[in-house]
A and B are shown apart, each in its own frame.
Chain A
Amino acid sequence: SQTIHQWPATLVQPVGSPLSLECTVEGTSNPNLYWYRQAAGRGLQLLFYSVGIGQISSEVPQNLSASRPQDRQFILSSKKLLLSDSGFYLCAWTPAGTGAMYETQYFGPGTRLLVL
């Protein structure tokens, strides 16, 4: 069966510090991968998605970046964190393919980031 991991689970960082969040998926090949952010009491905001190694699409301009160095690894980074970067970061995956069953997104446990 497929599983998705994210770490760390929680993180407290000072403003201006770098960030690296990691997401890995097991049990599937060539998944589509996503990074979302959920601010407190708000809905999910899609940040990045990737359909393959090295292929990253950005949905919103920000000081965050994403990379996919391996098929099942997705990394979210920042060189300098802002206060507004605080939130709940979620990684998700969908199976490769087209059709309704391939639209189902499976989410990781999330990383709670607090920037002080």
Chain B
Amino acid sequence: DAKTTQPTSMDCAEGRAANLPCNHSTISGNEYVYWYRQIHSQGPQYIIHGLKNNETNEMASLIITEDRKSSTLILPHATLRDTAVYYCIVRSPKYSGGGADGLTFGKGTHLIIQP
């Protein structure tokens, strides 16, 4: 899986959009970008994933640059409950064969939503 680089921490005002960047310059053609978050003392939570097109769901939007070397997770209207560590993970899906492997979480970005 390709390596990712994220800022250590970010602040955002409540009600504003939180934009979390991720660099993945060595991403290969079949690797997807996944985002998870971990709120303090809880298990990680899946947010969104994408390959090359921008994606949106009820939680967030994912913007992937045309060269796919970076992406941005957008929380459109951040609330205090969005304070968490956000992880950007790049991995290729298993299209054949059995087996499974675990996720490799880096240090992530600690997003702090300010009231």
**Number of interchain pairs (Cβ within 8 Å):** 68
CB distance from A111 to the nearest CB of B (A): 10
Number of interface residues of B (CB under 8 A): 26
| B81 contact set on A, CB distance < 8 A | none
Name B94's closest neighbour in chain A (CB-CB). Answer: A98
Main secondary structure of the interface of B (DSSP, over half): loop
Q: Kindly state the interface size class of chain A when it binds its partner.
A: 20 to 34
Q: Is the CB of B98 within 8 A of A44?
A: no
The reply on B99 being an interface residue by CB < 8 A is yes
* A46-B101, A100-B32 given; A110·B42 CB < 8 A: yes
Q: Is the CB of B102 within 8 A of A59?
A: yes
- CB contact between B101 and one of A49, A107, A109 (< 8 Å): that residue: A49
Q: Is the CB of A110 within 8 A of B93?
A: no
- CB contact between B32 and one of A49, A51, A90, A103 (< 8 Å): that residue: A103
| A106 contact set on B, CB distance < 8 A | 46
| B105 contact set on A, CB distance < 8 A | 43-44
| Cα A99 to Cα B100 with chains together (Å) | 12
Main secondary structure of the interface of A (DSSP, over half): strand
* A98-B95, A103-B32, A103-B91 given; A49·B46 CB < 8 A: no
| A36 contact set on B, CB distance < 8 A | 102
Q: Is the CB of B102 within 8 A of A43?
A: no
| A108 contact set on B, CB distance < 8 A | 43
CB distance from B107 to the nearest CB of A (A): 7
| Cα A72 to Cα B100 with chains together (Å) | 16
CB distance from A42 to the nearest CB of B (A): 9
Q: Is the CB of B42 within 8 A of A109?
A: yes
User: What residues make up the interface of B, taking CB atoms closer than 8 Å to A?
Assistant: 32, 34, 41-46, 49, 51, 91, 93-107
User: What residues make up the interface of A, taking CB atoms closer than 8 Å to B?
Assistant: 32, 34, 36, 43-44, 46, 49, 51, 57, 59, 88, 90, 92, 94, 98-100, 102-110, 112
Given contacts A32-B100, A43-B105, A90-B43, 12 further A-B contacts (CB under 8 A): A43-B106, A43-B107, A44-B102, A49-B100, A51-B100, A99-B93, A100-B32, A100-B93, A103-B32, A106-B46, A107-B44, A110-B42
